[in-house]
Chains A and B, each alone.
Chain A
């Protein structure tokens, strides 16, 4: 179920990301934009709004631009998202090891998927950057692996739950990607390094340990500690 175009594992994995409507820090909703948002919501219900003329789209959040793409196939909204994300997706993919041309092709591909699958994006459940990460990840995996990478369907809960569930709390707590962004800034340089290596170097923990000249146990406990810090911060702030 790796193929995001067909089966949308990224969507499946997003279902446990309940969150409030996010506000993009660089493009806060103005009063005017809020009223436009109202219009957009109506649009979704079928009142019909013409594509973007007379709208100052630059005032909208990324998530709201997605709403416009979904509801009125607004190419101008797409262009704004393209301007922001395509160069950053390319950068992300180059860090993952793709060469320039391949990274640009895949960044294009991610953006096309964003357009074609806009109806599957749910701003209540995921921030756009998180959704884009999933699309890019799945495309990258498809390129690298012969076999499909198994993904989780959030609805797949087996009746046979283990007896011991002490560490598992019900998924009720809202997780806000903006908080994650803030929480990441509170990590120590050491903690951030192991997280980044996990993302970008395709390194096993042993390889990270070797790369950093650290014992394996230290690397693993550093990742766990970073994780705890993030979870705690996100929990505190939400």
Chain B
């Protein structure tokens, strides 16, 4: 859904690692794919102030509704609605994935916890390269993939390019790309304008990130190329 963004033209985001306004708007209007929306909602949990912007978008939506040209309704529309009022909400969908913090790590935002079947540590982690593991959460029909990345402190992520957009939310630990450090709650967006992307995980704690990619990543290293066909990212 989201396409290439030349983020080099818009740097303010990089200074703070918070989501650009046009993405907030797409989230609050319901315009994002679920993969991106999960990442954005998770990001929001780290930044209470973003809520005000989301509320602004909803106020705009409310204003659009309030000022919409009224459309004619069927003659029996009101009477049918009145008849439904006291059905007692029989069609309430059950909340099968009720959010539970039980056993969930502290760094997991609600929006992410809602889509996990257990703690992050218990996900189906697979080998991605030396010091790196990934757990694929799901893939949209459009190809956008939501996944978790786990890397040991000091790991150098293989140099790679992007064919589309790669959006990364740091949940735990930290890493650096060139001079920029990314810490928990910060977003990094990298697109095909960002060549030779090579994050280096800070020494010490492991780093865990929530990632959305909308096209396969091109790894440069031999190991990367070797494993690329199997990982489906």
- A158-B65 in contact (CB<8A): no
Contact assessment for B111 and A164 in the assembled complex, using a CB-CB cutoff below 8 Å = no
Q: Does A50 contact B (CB under 8 A)?
A: no
Which B residues touch A59, using CB under 8 A?
A: none
Chain A CB within 8 A of B125 CB:
no
Docked Cα-Cα span, A78 to B82, in Å, equals 9
What A residues does B42 contact at CB under 8 A? 150
Q: Is the interface of A mostly helix, strand, loop or mixed?
A: helix
State in angstroms the CA–CA spacing of A81 and B31 once bound together: 28
- CB contacts under 8 Å to A, within B18-71, are 18, 20-22, 25-26, 29-31, 34, 37-38, 41-42, 44-56, 58-71
The answer to whether B95 touches A7 (Cβ under 8 A) is yes
Cα-based distance from A104 to B73 in the complex (angstroms): 7
Bound complex: CA A198 to CA B20 (Å): 14
Do residues A87 and B73 form an inter-chain contact, with CB atoms below 8 A?
Answer: yes
Task: Scan residues 5-64 of chain A and give those whose CB is less than 8 A from a CB of chain B.
Answer: 5-7, 13-17
Give which listed residue, A126, A168, A206, contacts B50 with CB less than 8 A.
A168
What is the chain B residue whose CB lies nearest that of A79?
B78
Nearest-Cβ distance from residue A101 to partner chain B, whole angstroms: 9
- Given A87-B70, A95-B68, A133-B58: A162 and B38 within 8 A (CB)? no
**B183 CB to nearest A CB, Å:** 5
Cβ contact within 8 Å between B5 and A150: no
Chain B interface extent, by class: 35 or more
Answer whether residue A216 sits at the interface, using C-beta atoms and an 8 A cutoff: yes
Quick check: is A130 within 8 A (CB to CB) of the other chain?
yes
The reply to whether B34 and A131 form a contact with Cβ atoms under 8 Å apart is: no
Contact at B48–A16, with CB atoms within 8 Å?
yes
Please tell me if A167 contacts chain B, counting CB pairs below 8 Å. yes
Q: Tell me whether A181 is interfacial, beta carbon within 8 Å.
A: yes
Indicate whether A212 reaches chain B with its CB closer than 8 angstroms: no
Q: A152-B41, A152-B51, A162-B186 are in contact. Are A223 and B22 (CB under 8 A)?
A: yes
A112→B84 contact, CB < 8 A: yes
A71 at the interface (CB under 8 A from B): no
Query: Which listed residue, B6, B16, B46, touches A161 by the CB 8 Å rule?
Result: B46
- Whether B64 and A92, one on each chain, are in contact in the complex, defined by CB atoms closer than 8 angstroms, is yes
* Nearest chain A CB to B56 CB, angstrom units: 6
Neighbour of A78 across the interface among B66, B85, B184, CB < 8 A:
B85
Q: Are A199 and B185 closer than 8 Å at their CB atoms?
A: no
A116-164 contacts to B (CB < 8 Å): 116, 126-134, 136-138, 140-141, 145, 147-154, 156-164
Residues of A within 8 A of B (CB): 1, 3, 5-7, 13-17, 75, 78-79, 82-83, 85-92, 94-95, 100, 103-104, 107-108, 111-112, 115-116, 126-134, 136-138, 140-141, 145, 147-154, 156-171, 173, 175, 177, 180-181, 184, 195-196, 198-199, 202, 204-206, 216-217, 219-221, 223-224, 227-228, 230-231, 234
Add 13 more A-B contacts to A17-B59, A87-B70, A152-B44 (CB < 8 A): A5-B92, A16-B52, A17-B58, A87-B73, A111-B81, A115-B85, A129-B62, A129-B66, A137-B30, A162-B183, A175-B56, A221-B10, A227-B22
